[in-house]
Structure 1
């Protein structure tokens, strides 16, 4: 299997660079999906397209009876203008939320797709030896679907990707800045639950020279930002688990001497504890309402569709530790700190036991979601191919026994 992974590695690099140069936002991964589907069909893998909008599902039936394991890769890019200077850098632009912006694989999903395409080729080449079935999940919109649309892992699950055939376990990986080829994870909760929110504040428009004639909504929104900082830093027991409440965008006003009617704020809540999550949400709602009321205005917070905590099944994680160590030739860390980023892989884990792990790809000038993010050491992707293929093989082999 190691030699097969090494043999497919040049293809993995080529696929990754091609996908990187042609990024597509969530629910619009048409070109990427065609590349994946064409490859799987050439391997003799059963293919379903149009799953959860633009997703691709491949089913590889082994030569022996056994269980069913799923391997997942996300395909979508981000609305980021690339600044890496790579010869295969993205030049794609789009209109996003009313603004013209670049489109970039700033979170490494290009590598995820290429790695799973490589693992599919390795596994297809040894199908007669596989005791069971491998399901390949190429998922759209992990970063979130367009406003007003369904998408991502919730829609994949809703459309039955874990049911036909019925999946026994699911595995996925994510590339991160770090030692090239090192695999990292932790049992139990690993990545935070994520809640998106939007706050709408309503005041009374007036001249900037006469703030007493209206409602000073600019000061109102400033107090909301400060209150949110206090909630996370001073009102929550920070010794339990990480809790983050971030205000990321503030929009309001069109002219320097007009205090506007409206302000809109948006941001994210990250938690690991369901009770803490509920507590923070209630505190945030109370803060918005009370601050707006004190100014004589109105305020309302709306919460978007959440991502649950990404939780690695402890028994499955312990069972697969030797497999991941073999894939990385011992270069692993199985007790990493909590990660406050979020992953909709958690929706699969709510249905079947799952294991999600990270793959180090060197140290780019920028972290994930930065315009400078890059897979610095493409050789690390070979470890990813081995890890994806081996977790499937070893899970099925031990299940068959």
Structure 2
């Protein structure tokens, strides 16, 4: 459901709030015990090879959203071996929750990793390259961890082992969320897990995402860090006929071509971009079987990315109007479906102010910095952050032998992740979780 908006964009409002509030919040935070940080470092180093092995295994056996049974079983077995309470098939999907109860009372923090892969054929020649094949939307394709969820899962498995070994020093509870189907908007796996009670009693939630950049670098920001992600589908229905006699048919391909071109004008001509960036993308289009047959229909699918609620509504309305009227002008009909998906991920200002120093401590000479702008990517983590104060940050993982000026991004068949970044992510998640618990969390707003 669309909400009313102010004249400020999410990013602008967040920046103003951060400027006014962050110094006061930072001053309230007590220094983190260096001995705890040192123990996290030591325990992470001891299992670095295991984390890498998990990552390679998961990468070589990728599973699409809602099909992550092998990955979930691997995760559950590991958590159970650590002595954690383990829930499987959370929400009726392959979700896994491991609960670590510390030796002392305290708040509850949740850490989340996503497990699903993408319908992408891997083109990087790795020893653990994926050779898995599937049929997706009627097309045979490879399956690949082209968004780094194999790294997310392996790092959180490592974080669980590190913190389980420190149970006697933990004041409170850590919940480890291994979420399926993050890549399936608008029906990602977070909602099913939340509806099954995953966020009950959670006082704060952390997550990270890998992407291109100097390996081991961390980045973060207050307020909006990822965009709202909506999905759409258009079916243009014409009248089939002979390709040599187009006057006797209604050509949905010609109408669709015009629709695709016209959709590109929505952002440039109908959206107030001072309220935040926006994107309309056509991700797939299909129609016809052979060269001399005009088909009866064409379908196309795509995504809408926004930060401003009004822009979100304007784009949906314009998309429907443009497709319908252009099809009508060609004597065809268009069916248009827009599904609201993930909302913008909003990082809690107090969480970022209090726990971003932990990221700087972990990154060391690699560096941790505040991003100036949010990402147009969408994230199912937004649903967890809607239920409790959230902090979502980024870990750069480009291998050092790859040219950063020509690096492949997420969702590319050439995407690569550096194993050397895995301990950084593990240490980051363990540090923010333990610091959250030791500090008692953040003050609850009235």
The TM-score bracket by the shorter chain reads: over 0.9
Note the alpha carbon deviations across 1:92-115, whole angstroms, 9 max, x for none. 112222222111111111110110
Within the candidate set 421, 425, 428, 1:387 is matched to: 428
Show the counterpart of 1:130.
Answer: 170
Asked if residue 25 in structure 1 is aligned to residue 64 in structure 2, the reply is yes
- Does the residue aligned with 1:73 lie in a helix, a strand or coil? strand
Asked if residue 368 in structure 1 is aligned to residue 405 in structure 2, the reply is no
CA contact (8 A) 1:183 1:359 kept: yes
Q: Distance in 1 between matches of 2:184 and 2:282?
A: 18
Asked if residue 397 in structure 1 is aligned to residue 397 in structure 2, the reply is no
CA contact (8 A) 2:235 2:300 kept: yes
CA drift of 1:209 comes to 2.1
- Does the residue aligned with 1:326 lie in a helix, a strand or coil? helix
Show the counterpart of 1:346.
Answer: 382
- Does the residue aligned with 1:361 lie in a helix, a strand or coil? strand
Show the counterpart of 1:297.
Answer: 332
CA drift of 1:305 comes to 4.5
Asked if residue 159 in structure 1 is aligned to residue 201 in structure 2, the reply is no
Q: Distance in 1 between matches of 2:295 and 2:60?
A: 42
Q: How does 1:167-186 map to 2 (within 5 A)?
A: 167-186=202-221
Show the counterpart of 1:116.
Answer: 156
CA drift of 1:400 comes to 6.7
CA contact (8 A) 1:247 1:267 kept: yes
Q: Which runs of 5+ in 2 are unaligned?
A: 1-39
Q: Distance in 2 between matches of 1:198 and 1:220?
A: 15
Q: Distance in 2 between matches of 1:232 and 1:275?
A: 13
Show the counterpart of 2:41.
Answer: 2
Q: Distance in 1 between matches of 2:171 and 2:110?
A: 14
Show the counterpart of 1:63.
Answer: 103
Q: Distance in 1 between matches of 2:175 and 2:275?
A: 37
Deviates more, 1:326-335 or 1:108-117: 326-335
CA contact (8 A) 1:184 1:336 kept: no
Normalising by structure 2, we get a TM-score of: 0.86
Gap change, CA 1:400 and 1:198, over 3 Å in 2:
closer
Q: Which runs of 5+ in 1 are unaligned?
A: none
Deviates more, 1:89-98 or 1:111-120: 89-98
Count of residue correspondences: 395
CA contact (8 A) 1:131 1:400 kept: no
Show the counterpart of 2:124.
Answer: 84
Show the counterpart of 2:146.
Answer: 106
Within the candidate set 241, 249, 274, 1:214 is matched to: 249
CA contact (8 A) 1:130 1:393 kept: yes
Note the alpha carbon deviations across 1:124-168, whole angstroms, 9 max, x for none. 0111111100000011111117x9xx65111111111011xx100
CA drift of 1:206 comes to 2.2
CA contact (8 A) 1:253 1:260 kept: yes
Structural RMSD (CA): 1.6
Within the candidate set 324, 334, 341, 1:306 is matched to: 341
Q: Distance in 2 between matches of 1:253 and 1:33?
A: 39
CA drift of 1:304 comes to 2.7
Asked if residue 244 in structure 1 is aligned to residue 284 in structure 2, the reply is no
Q: Distance in 1 between matches of 2:335 and 2:441?
A: 54
